[in-house]
Amino acid sequence: MLNLQPLLDQFQATTSQFRDNVRVIVSADKAHSLLTTLKEQHGFDMLVDITAVDYLEYEGATDRFGVVYCVLSTETGERLVVKTHVNEPNPTLPTATNLWRGADWMEREVFDMFGITFAGHPDLRRILMPEEFTSYPLRKDYPLKGRGERHNFPVITRSES
Amino acid sequence: MVDSTTNSRSGLPDNVFLTTIDAAANWARSNSLWPMPFATACCGIELMATASSRFDLARFGAEVMRFSPRQCDLMIVAGRVAMKMLPVLQRIWLQMPEPKWCISMGACACTGGVFDTYAVVQGVDRFIPVDLYIPGCPPRPEQLIAALIEMQSKIMNTGTFDGREFAHRTQATGPVPLDLDEIRRAKEAALVEGLEIFQPPKLG
């Protein structure tokens, strides 16, 4: 079992726990060095997921976005959730692709859905939505039914096709 | 049978019959529909079931599923069509040779179904011409067979050799994009008291 306390002290992080789900909450500028330490010194060699949460108008929330990294040590089977917060305007985090190549598409997805950019990412394009899409659809201030993008296509009538 | 070799009224031999070229073309076309399976979701599974032995679409001459649009004359849009897929659908439709018809199969292809979200097209008939709609989620194979028979009778009754019947269809089959229903949707997304995030979409 990983002893969290030195890590928490080193990175001024806090921790919380739900059942066996251990979370480390760290500030955005220290997130990358914490991830580096976790990978290189504590054997968290697999990045399971990167996702984000929009806390707009969430009760008690102080930051707009939470970015969540789930890491796994394949040797011990231990899991850890690293969470960090970013804010508008221009929410940016350093990329994790230099640690885990698998972060590539996950960061593209977070960028596509939330508009959080990852500095140093090799190819930060939209991955799910079309290239010409202009919004970030999983942000809470984006309407569920869109802003009419789904109707913005040429119409092919029978007489002309 | 009065005369075994010539018809007494027309003076033609018995093994010759007269018809119009339209009727001959319609007969041939309606009995050899080659479907283009544009299957994107669970309707596609029903489409496969319809084509396979239990329901046997071959009984109606429509078993030749071609995965190249160049060899098809009946597009079956089976399943939801996302924003990113619609340009593909339109391109495939444009690549199909004339004459061609389109069946919109299932609730999602017809109206978007339960997927009233930013990414799903609310009915393919807004953007490509549709001849027949099949309701259902997903429709039973019997419904698809019924639609195919209906399609055959439509071709038999309205078809022409050179496709003249298509010329008058100058409007989209479905609602015009951003028409009344989208404005209605915008009004539905009214402000919720105390929650400023639900802004109705801005139109034009």
How far is B56 from A31, CA to CA, in rounded Å? 59
pTM: 0.82
Asked if residue B69 is part of any domain, the answer here is yes
Between strands A65-72 and A46-54, the pairing is: antiparallel
Residue type, A6: P
Looking at residue B171, its pLDDT comes to 81
Tell me the pLDDT tens digit for each residue of A45-62: 999 999 999 998 888 888
Total domains in chain B come to 2
Looking at residue A74, its pLDDT comes to 92
Which has the closest alpha carbon to B97: B137, B140, B68, B117? B68
Looking at residue A27, its pLDDT comes to 92
Q: Could you tell me if B97 and B196 lie in one domain?
A: no
How far is B127 from B85, CA to CA, in rounded Å? 12
Is A145 within 8 Å of B119 when comparing Cβ atoms?
no
Write down the CATH number for the domain with range A5-160: 3.30.460.80
Q: Which residue of A has its CA nearest to B128?
A: A156
Q: Could you tell me the CATH number of the domain that includes residue B130?
A: 3.40.50.12280
Phi–psi pair at B103, nearest 5 degrees: -110, 125
Looking at residue B184, its pLDDT comes to 67
CB-based contact, A143 to chain B, within 8 Å = yes
Asked if residue B164 is part of any domain, the answer here is no
Q: Could you tell me if B60 and B126 lie in one domain?
A: yes
Q: Which domain holds residue B53?
A: 34-151
Q: Could you tell me if B53 and B96 lie in one domain?
A: yes
Q: At what angle do helices B141-158 and B42-51 cross, to 10 degrees?
A: 70
Asked if residue B4 is part of any domain, the answer here is no
Low-confidence ranges of chain B (pLDDT < 70): 1-4, 8, 176-204
Contact at 8 Å (CB) between A54 and A91? no
- Read off the pLDDT of each residue in A70-96 and give the average, rounded to a whole number: 92
Q: What percent of chain A has pLDDT over 90?
A: 56
Where do runs of H (alpha helix) occur along B21-175? Answer: 21-30, 42-51, 86-95, 106-111, 141-158
Q: Could you tell me if B48 and B96 lie in one domain?
A: yes
CB-based contact, A19 to chain B, within 8 Å = no
CB-based contact, B86 to chain A, within 8 Å = yes
Asked if residue B99 is part of any domain, the answer here is yes
- Read off the pLDDT of each residue in A134-150 and give the average, rounded to a whole number: 84
Asked if residue B81 is part of any domain, the answer here is yes
Looking at residue A49, its pLDDT comes to 94
Tell me the pLDDT tens digit for each residue of A6-51: 888 888 889 998 888 899 999 999 999 999 999 999 989 999 999 9
Q: Could you tell me if B145 and B200 lie in one domain?
A: no
Q: Which residues of A touch B166 (CB under 8 A)?
A: 158-159
